[in-house]
Amino acid sequence: MPFKDLGLSPELLTALKPKTYPSPTPVQSEFIPAAAAGRDVWVTAPTGSGKTLAYALPLLDRLLSSQNQATPLTSALRPLPGRNPRAVQSLVLVPTRELAIQVSQTFMSIASQWGTRCKITVVFGGVSINPQMMGLRGGTDILIATPGRLIDLIEHNALKLSNVQSLVLDEADKLLELGFQDELQHILSLLPKKRQNLFLSATRPESIESLAQSILRLPHEIHIAAETPQPSVIQQRAIYTDRTQRTQLLKHLIKAENLKQVLVFVATQHSSEIVAAKLRVAGISSEPFHGQLSQGKRQQVLADFKAHRVKVVLATDLAARGLDIEKLPTVINFDLPRSAVDYTHRIGRTGRAGESGVAISFVCPESLQHWALIEKRHAVKLPQESIPGYEATTEAPEPLENNGGVKGKRPSKKDKLRQLAASKAEN
């Protein structure tokens, strides 16, 4: 099915260059007509399936049609006449700065030929707020924002959300999780109740189901299954070692196996800084990558990593969302992901487009239960390697009853205190 059969206006179709966008992907073919009809839509589809363009096209089509003072035949939404000061027609929320930039590039590449007719603005934290406030003077048609910076701008009276017709949550699985819930609820309270909601994500964990359904109105649901990585594409390895030996083991692997480019996942911003510093002392070019770095620094790290000026990047999960390194050969889980779903996101950074890749996980005695759960969820059973000189010497702790080993089911402080008291009593 060509784009012209999806009900898009001829004016918008002229902006779709055939070499760049030869034909709609399955996500786009199903999403665009539903979104243009004004329905709420919830998409679950893997990275690279064309989700950004899927929602960009109907939003731009509605904008052009409203400016022409004509409602598209396929649209059930009321056009917004003109651009009002501080008004926003469509709001796109994303969890990270990198994703905000990527999304804005997609919108602007299509809308560039219309000049000031389509005002598209992107805002995010980590940079000065003043230029962003200036850029919002006179309002904007489509706003792409991270939640924290959007709230800052609202508090500075730089914009209002009372005219938003469409709300897009890109990476909805992250935005609906606990880390963003307070900010999201605040933003939702400022939006008109009568609006379109478009949710898009690569995964759909049960933990967000209730909140998502409370926001959506009879959504059209689209599920595109991810292709299962073949063993010949991504080689998965598990190395059993002590927690205290992981940094030395990482240095050893990089040098002994001559790893050229490595994305290492760590649990905290502090860990990314500390481990990167230790690698640099060992003569390995390394940089941390997390949410507290300035935007300029993050962009520089990415540019250096892609150009092979930096060999190792140590990233937290949230910062790594939206990262796309072509032909990345190696991913290492220095810390295991908190959820089995995030394991998929992590190893999926390598082995793309038919390229081979290696995903290595460091498994420690205290994380054995959690690793077993990850294996179960992904229907794999990996042999646990021991690297000479870096073998685990500590014993695994006794498992707690009813402990699922996953986020939300890990032992609390009280559980740990009870376990410690019980062990002392036995001795």
Q: Is the pLDDT of residue 13 over 50?
A: yes
**Which listed CATH number (3.30.70.2740, 3.40.50.720, 3.40.50.920, 3.40.50.300) goes with 3-223?**
3.40.50.300
For range 88-101, the mean pLDDT: 92
AA identity, residue 305 = F
Residue bearing the bigger pLDDT, 72 or 355: 355
Q: How far is CA 126 from CA 32, 72, 94, 97, 317, in A?
A: 33, 39, 15, 8, 18
Q: Is the pLDDT of residue 408 over 50?
A: no
pLDDT tens per residue across span 135-187: 998 889 999 999 999 999 999 999 999 999 999 999 999 899 878 989 999 99
Q: Which residue has the tokens 């027609």?
A: 89
Q: Is the pLDDT of residue 324 over 50?
A: yes
- Cα 315–Cα 318–Cα 323 angle in degrees, nearest 5: 65
Reported confidence tier of residue 98, pLDDT bands at 50, 70, 90: confident
pLDDT tens per residue across span 363-385: 999 999 999 999 998 888 999 99
Region of poorest pLDDT, from 24-33, 82-91, 364-373: 82-91
Q: How much is the pLDDT for 22?
A: 85
Q: Is the pLDDT of residue 414 over 60?
A: no
- Return the exposure string of 119-158: e unless at least 16 CB atoms fall within 10 Å of the residue's CB, then b: bbbbbbbbeeeeebbeebeebbbbbbbbbebbbbbbeeeb
Q: How much is the pLDDT for 355?
A: 72
User: Is the CATH number 3.40.50.300 carried by domain 234-385?
Assistant: yes
For range 4-10, the mean pLDDT: 89
Q: How much is the pLDDT for 15?
A: 87
Q: Is the pLDDT of residue 293 over 50?
A: yes
Q: Is the pLDDT of residue 37 over 60?
A: yes
Smallest Cα–Cα separation from 90: which of 197, 165, 31, 180?
A: 165
Q: Which two tokens stand for residue 378?
A: 């992904």
CA distance 3 to 373: 43
CA distance 28 to 33: 9
For range 91-109, the mean pLDDT: 92
Q: How far is CA 176 from CA 2, 105, 185, 190, 218, in A?
A: 34, 24, 9, 17, 18
Reported confidence tier of residue 231, pLDDT bands at 50, 70, 90: very low
Reported confidence tier of residue 56, pLDDT bands at 50, 70, 90: very high
Could you tell me which residues come within 8 angstroms of residue 266 by beta carbon, excluding any fewer than 6 positions away? 272, 275, 314, 315, 316, 334, 335
* Residue 392 backbone phi and psi in degrees, to 5: -75, 130
Q: Which residue has the tokens 């390895």?
A: 237
Average pLDDT across the chain, whole number: 85
Could you tell me which residues come within 8 angstroms of residue 365 by beta carbon, excluding any fewer than 6 positions away? 242, 243, 392, 394, 395, 396, 397
CA distance 324 to 200: 18
Q: How much is the pLDDT for 69?
A: 53
Q: Which two tokens stand for residue 366?
A: 């205290």
Residue 47's CB is within 10 A of a number of other CB atoms, namely: 16
Domain-wise residue ranges, the chain: 3-223, 234-385
